[in-house]
Homo-oligomer: A and B are copies of this chain.
């Protein structure tokens, strides 16, 4: 399939797909006319990257995540360790995101809009730790 169709199916702009090829995050077959030619598996990879980027992972982190996706030596200790680290990071993000949602909900429903120091949500915010 052409880049336009791949773009539509993956959610990545065609421009971005070409850029990812430039930096070696994706590869592409070429048709006889010179057009890039993508498979379903390529689209899966794009979608995987699109999702990871959308959720705040850097391109380098996406490269690592993709290596988990690609790597045939799934048993090697360092790949396992990387996978566990990424899973833990995702779990932390899930918690953070849930907190952000609760903060916003609370702001909309319960707070007065001023910056009163006794606003209960501010306590909640200051309680959260930020170890990274």
Contacts and interface: CB of A to CB of B under 8 A. Distances in A.
- Place the interface of chain A in its size category: 35 or more
Contacts of A65: 104
A1 interface: no
A55 B94 CA distance: 9
A27 interface: no
B73 A126 contact: no
A56 interface: yes
Interface of A: 9-11, 40-41, 43-44, 47-48, 50-56, 65, 68-74, 80, 83, 86-87, 90-91, 93-94, 96-101, 103-105, 107-108, 111-115, 117, 122, 125-126, 128, 130, 132
